Structure 1
């Protein structure tokens, strides 16, 4: 039989990433003022058409980066080669304002919602180009807040430009061999330097020496980096933050004329061989008397870098949920054309199949509401309209949104892959690539364990934090109309005590085993609260999906793990570690009695 003969599967349709999404338009309709919603929705419809057409075609032009370290005469060149598709996708992101929107602030506190919504529908087809754009966003914010006058005049406009010929992309260099996420062990040092007067235009000048083990966006124009400016025994208290040009001239500043095209003492040791995000040129870099310009106060690097981490963590959460959305769209589209049962039915008509996708869709709804709720908080804080309670809430919920989305999204994506059967396992349908790319979100910018420890630290460092969460939770539940409350009585009877228990479990002292289960419970609880907030809005405004919104809230609370997450925290709190016995047994289980 020739390949053209016999059964031919109808290709599943390529769906518009905004118009066919059942969740995002409703979130935006609720959060945004009516005039902003109309304009943002029109922009997303236009951009979604580009994503569904020429942008998806660009993915076929993408390939892994390569490096040529030496020329044929043995001279060090470190020439980085990226694919046409990767370069064009970056240009698309810049032109569409996927950094600029946040700083143009056309809609004030809602500009973050607009920009992240646009990034959201791009994620599944961006081939991870939003990774360097997210770091560029973080760099722009830290320069806006802490940069010198010349950084703000010369560098900030380029980081926030919509013109690819003028725009700068920024990397982020924190990770080193001794510490990983623990920057207190940073080996890289920075020494104040004397340079030609023109070089001082951007700020205090330093020579930086060290080795950065995991440096994303090596094809960028600059990076923000931590380096030690004091005694190593002081740990993170002797780190400062620097703007590091990848090469000169940079922002109108040149080194010595004889070094007009210097690579700024940066050598690419090698490109990292990663499971996913392979298009992002991540490298091990040697810094040899590399020129950097200090951002912010001396020895205040960790505090200075905090705005960058908050922003990149929300970009991470958007990536997790945006890629889940893309996988779910593929699974839904495939079910609309796949014929089963001897040609009698479409796959979408098989109850067990639809039930599986309904659970994935419910997960997607919960994560999307949680993440965009936190995005809106970020917008309020950045524009100075947030209350102190909202600022305290943002610190905790940023860690929760990033960690919980990373924890849950890939499992939903795996179900979408299985929903296509063997076809889902094929690279052509991109689900496998999206899973590989999204697995890094469990690690990048803090693992779930690291984030859970930060959650506890944040809860204890600000007395307002837990109080504000309790008050906000109560306000959401109190807003439920009486008739709706009767319909949701079972779910509300579970949610109320879970909130109270969670907040009480975080009061000091906290068992060493509580943080991770607490973050997971946080995710369940606050996703439920955002779903409830949306359901109340939907009911009060008589939206066509109001019954579905209520059912999604009910199922999320009753069926999707909130009860189990609460019981896990209760078990740990109620069973202290028996003088460390459980920790010792854990060690024996993992490493054996002999601790091999």
Structure 2
């Protein structure tokens, strides 16, 4: 017997986190389910390379720098003589991670590549690989993406912009879609204020139309590009604004109390010809009427600069019509909400990869002196298998929503036939005149974030727990296995871009009304949203029923899901039902609806690409959510080999030998 010391004795072998594009079984199934085979073959080499790059030591060194050297205001917002000076400092690690994101085109791909309606799927599969390593740089990228889509929509209108507006919007669009780090921009999305939080109608930010006189041309936002500052002057206070280091912002302000809020584009900086540099040179760049009041000190996302901003005469350009700000900003929200859910499942996917790696090298006692690696421990494998089953269900809901987003944005012939399962036909499918795809997207844009981000947090905590005490540590010295950082950062997903309750209420409004704020009346029938869900459930269950040799469990599942959906549908479209009557139970109703959608997607996945593992995962989900009874699960295989196949993939479980060093 030899006593251990700080340098001798047992040392746990470091877990290996593998390339998730190949190691994540759920991501593989998602790719097969939603992308045609020719496109899978086309993107696979680049995705494989990306999966390796995001796990490189260089990336994790930048992550550590971004986490340990957090953003700050130089001089706490004052110069040496006490004069206010808002100079935000971000670290080298943060800048390098952003540059990597620009170069890899995590936003640009959707605008400079042409995979038709699959653009969004390809984009977000790549984002999924990057989430666990990006140190929150995909947050400003999400707003960059939303702003790009908003400007793209307006630039496609041949008559809606003046020549100067078109120049300014096009210049911003070109920067937002650039892959060159020295040129690329991110964007802020400034809505939240002290008065209302998510209720943007209570904004206290005011915009006044105050154009520069013709005799005095407008000052420039950028002297090199000759882009002028806008004719609107905006003043107010924004309570919570991420992407404080962005080059522009889309923000909301009131122009007239009777018109509601309006949307504006504002450059973050402006040229000041009288500004004096430390060396005495005249001319330079300063903030465009913005004072960074203070940076927020947050539980998570600490590498991300989030601030309180005071606006005084911030010059901006109106986007769209006065009073249409909520309509305009919803274009951004549809994008940023998808980014938030993809980040959530991306965090969970990485956490599960860490848990799989740890289970392969860590031993545990099995009683009577026996020891086994956790990858061969029945209880541990059952836990990871159940986590993987939940993860895949969330992945199905997220990526089906992504597929609808891609279809909505790229309404043109499919470049890679055939269409994927549950792809709504382009022609009108609902009695109310709205296409099934548009109706589904309207509902899912709120529903999927409400459900997914809420359920990610306990699943991530379970992954952290699966590593024991080391999982609770902020392992900056072993950044690839820092699951605590992932948990801490993921907690915000259920809060920003609309909390769980806010989004549940929004989903309810889309269901009770016809998607345009109108409520059902007795005998009016279902609106477009409910008809779209009817199409989804009916088509999905019909596809499952057409498959021959359908197992008893699947047969019972079809029956159970259909029964639950009909019950939910009856509550929603019941004659005379008003939104207020259902609002108290909105979260429960929306969560149950999400479980119906996941159950359909699970069964479709099992029907289209059958296998013992997906059959068992589907059965476990149906039983857990009460669509079938435990006693009806006659086809299930709840043994170690099946749990290992669910966690690692068929035939990929690590050998039952310890990977420990003495």
Q: Which residue of 2 aligns with 1:89?
A: 97
Deviations 1:53-77 (A, max 9, x none): 1322321222311112111122222
- Native 8 Å contact 2:249 2:267 kept in 1: yes
Q: CA deviation at 1:198?
A: 4.9
- Native 8 Å contact 2:436 2:535 kept in 1: no
- Native 8 Å contact 1:171 1:218 kept in 2: yes
Structure 2: segments with no counterpart, 5+ residues: 156-164, 221-226, 276-281, 413-425, 428-434, 476-480, 516-526, 630-662
Q: CA deviation at 1:469?
A: 0.8
Query: SS of the counterpart of 1:166?
Result: coil
User: d(CA) in 1 for partners of 2:626 and 2:178?
Assistant: 44
Moved more, 257-266 or 56-65: 257-266
Q: Which residue of 2 aligns with 1:6?
A: 9
Q: Which residue of 2 aligns with 1:65?
A: 71
User: d(CA) in 1 for partners of 2:244 and 2:486?
Assistant: 22
The 5 Å alignment of 1:172-571 reads: 172-195=189-212, 196-198=216-218, 205-231=231-257, 234=258, 237-249=259-271, 260-341=284-365, 342=369, 344-385=371-412, 386-387=426-427, 388-428=435-475, 429-459=481-511, 460-462=513-515, 463-480=527-544, 481-484=547-550, 486-507=552-573, 508-509=577-578, 510-539=581-610, 546-560=611-625
- Please state if 1:56 is matched with 2:60: yes
Moved more, 337-346 or 492-501: 337-346
User: d(CA) in 1 for partners of 2:405 and 2:598?
Assistant: 17
* Equivalent in 147, 161, 173 of residue 178 of structure 2: 161
- Cα distance 1:431–1:469, how it changes in 2: closer, same or farther (>3 A)? same
Q: CA deviation at 1:511?
A: 2.4
User: d(CA) in 2 for partners of 1:27 and 1:280?
Assistant: 30
- Native 8 Å contact 1:173 1:223 kept in 2: yes
Q: CA deviation at 1:403?
A: 1.1
Q: CA deviation at 1:517?
A: 0.6
Query: How many pairs does the alignment contain?
Result: 550
Q: CA deviation at 1:287?
A: 0.2
TM-score by length of 2: 0.80
- Native 8 Å contact 1:99 1:115 kept in 2: yes
Deviations 1:433-457 (A, max 9, x none): 2111111111101111100111111
- Native 8 Å contact 2:121 2:402 kept in 1: yes
- Native 8 Å contact 1:202 1:293 kept in 2: no
Query: SS of the counterpart of 1:493?
Result: helix
* Equivalent in 8, 23, 26 of residue 23 of structure 1: 26
Q: CA deviation at 1:8?
A: 1.3
Q: CA deviation at 1:149?
A: 1.8
Q: CA deviation at 1:42?
A: 1.6
Q: CA deviation at 1:479?
A: 0.9
Q: Which residue of 2 aligns with 1:131?
A: 139
- Please state if 1:38 is matched with 2:41: yes
Query: SS of the counterpart of 1:248?
Result: strand
User: d(CA) in 2 for partners of 1:562 and 1:64?
Assistant: 47
User: d(CA) in 1 for partners of 2:93 and 2:626?
Assistant: 41
Q: CA deviation at 1:399?
A: 1.0
User: d(CA) in 1 for partners of 2:78 and 2:219?
Assistant: 29
- Native 8 Å contact 1:248 1:255 kept in 2: no
- Native 8 Å contact 1:66 1:82 kept in 2: yes
Structure 1: segments with no counterpart, 5+ residues: 540-545, 565-596
User: d(CA) in 1 for partners of 2:32 and 2:168?
Assistant: 37
User: d(CA) in 1 for partners of 2:110 and 2:590?
Assistant: 28
Deviations 1:460-506 (A, max 9, x none): 13321101111221111111214225341232232111111122222
Larger radius of gyration: 2
Considering only aligned residues, what root-mean-square deviation do their CA atoms show, in Å? 1.9
Q: CA deviation at 1:260?
A: 4.7
Query: SS of the counterpart of 2:286?
Result: coil
TM-score by length of 1: 0.89
Deviations 1:556-591 (A, max 9, x none): 111246689xxxxxxxxxxxxxxxxxxxxxxxxxxx
- Native 8 Å contact 2:553 2:619 kept in 1: no
User: d(CA) in 1 for partners of 2:628 and 2:273?
Assistant: 61
